Amino acid sequence: MQRNSQTNHPGTVCRGFSRNATCIVASWIAWRSPSFDPFSLKKQSGLKQCQSLVHRMLNALDKLPSDPNQARSRSLFDAFVYTALWANEFDLSLHLDVSINISGTLSEYIESLHKYMVINNIYDLYGIWSERLRDSQSDDTKKPHTVAIVLDNSGPELVADFCLAEYLIHSGFTTRVVFYPKVIPWYVSDVTTNDITWILNEGLSSKFLADQPLIPLATKWAERWRSRFDVGQFIMRESPFWTYAYAYEEMAVVDPKLHEQLTTGTDVILFKGDLNYRKLVADRAWRPDSVRHKQAAFRKLQFGRPIDPSGQLTCRCFPATAAGDPLDCRCPMPVSKVWPPLICALRIAKADVAVGLNSETLIRVQAESSDWWVIGRYGIIQIVSPIQM
């Protein structure tokens, strides 16, 4: 399949935003203001226009069972993962200056969107994550469980990511969450460190919000999340790699420190959004329903799985599954002796690249819209690693 336009390639767009960043840095120097962001008002407006969604997300969080064992249920896990996924729909490139009003409960809203899922590995995500968690708790050398979230958009999506992180810690699915924002303003609505600071100190407060019933909830959770950053349960790490025009299969060479953090110091990696997905698959014209193409796209992203000098995986993982399917591969890395991280992409499709659809689903969505993968309607929860090779 051909690209609609060469100018849509992430390398091309990244270079365009890099030029924009050069102007921003010049402004930082001229105005002595490293917080300058030409997109900040648009990002703040995006949060204000989605207050009904934010209210429902925080209300769902507020109603979590106090007992972590009860909170660790499959239904609650699914609810917060789906919320983090569908919040990716609210991208300023698609919803600029449009008010978004959500009627009904959060669960009703999520249920109404299930028909738009084109790849859904949430069952495997919950199963593998839970099984590893149980086994790690019986390990005498137990270390803190770490989740990395490679962020995408600010506004309501960032709130959804905080809600997911809060749920994961509250329920015992993890002990700390590392957030990876962009180091410079990027792709209009992408999260920067300043966006995180603003949303916790001002965005979720009476200084900014107009929805009076939302304000007490927002204030409560913003305070909780600031506290989690203070005690190290939430961590923010920056890397310029996320704004480079490299596919993520090149991370080990381009940014070995970041690759080491994610490979040996992280248990679960969640990549949010469309650009992260495109860089995961190197934005090549894969056949969406080809298992062989899926294996090729994700082969170099099997972080931590042992390979021979020729680059072939040497790990035999059991029980064996069908080619390309997720599996709980725990072959230890030669130095650290820890399990390879579980890697998952959460994405609303906004570009013409995807792998891992079954043929029936592809036929269905193509019948619904020839541009199905660029209109920001269809959802993907896809395990990238480990998968059966």
pLDDT tens digit sequence for 54-64: 999 999 999 99
**In percent, how much of the chain has pLDDT > 90?**
70
Cα 222 to Cα 216: distance, rounded to the nearest angstrom: 10
Residues 53 and 83: their CA atoms lie apart, in Å, by 10
Q: Rounded mean pLDDT of 219-243?
A: 98
pLDDT at 1 over 50: no
What integer pLDDT is reported at residue 3 of this predicted model? 46
| 73/94: higher pLDDT | 73
Of 287 and 5, the one with more pLDDT:
287
Q: Given a cut of 70, is residue 360 above it in pLDDT?
A: yes
Residue listed under structure tokens 């959804």: 160
What is the pLDDT at residue 31? 42
What's the mean pLDDT when you consider all of the chain?
Answer: 89
Q: Tell me, what's the pLDDT at 307?
A: 82
Which residues, other chains included, contact 163 with Cβ-Cβ below 8 Å and sequence gap of 6+? 57, 58, 60, 61, 80, 83, 84, 221
Least confident of 61-65, 213-217, 334-338: 334-338
Residues 91-136: tens digit of each pLDDT:
766 665 666 778 788 999 999 999 999 999 999 999 999 999 998 8
Per the confidence metrics, is the pTM higher than 0.75? Answer: yes
**How far, CA to CA in Å, does 35 sit from each of 29, 32, 97, 248?**
11, 9, 23, 28
Helix (H, G, I), strand (E, B), or coil: what is residue 215? helix
> Count of alpha carbons within 13 Å of 214, Cβ hemisphere only?
20
| Position 363 pLDDT exceeds 80 | yes
Burial category of 249 from C-beta neighbours within 10 Å (exposed 0-12, middle 13-18, buried 19 and up)? middle
Alpha-carbon distance of 366 to 361, in angstroms, equals: 8
Closest alpha carbon to 142 in 339, 326, 299, 323: 339
* Low-confidence winner among 2-6, 53-57, 108-112, 300-304 (lowest mean pLDDT): 2-6
The larger pLDDT score, comparing residue 65 to residue 21, is at 65
When mean pLDDT is compared across 5-14, 98-107, 164-173, 202-211, the lowest value belongs to: 5-14
What's the order of all strands across the beta sheet hosting 379-385?
117-120, 379-385, 342-348, 268-272, 146-150, 176-180, 234-236
pLDDT at 22: 54
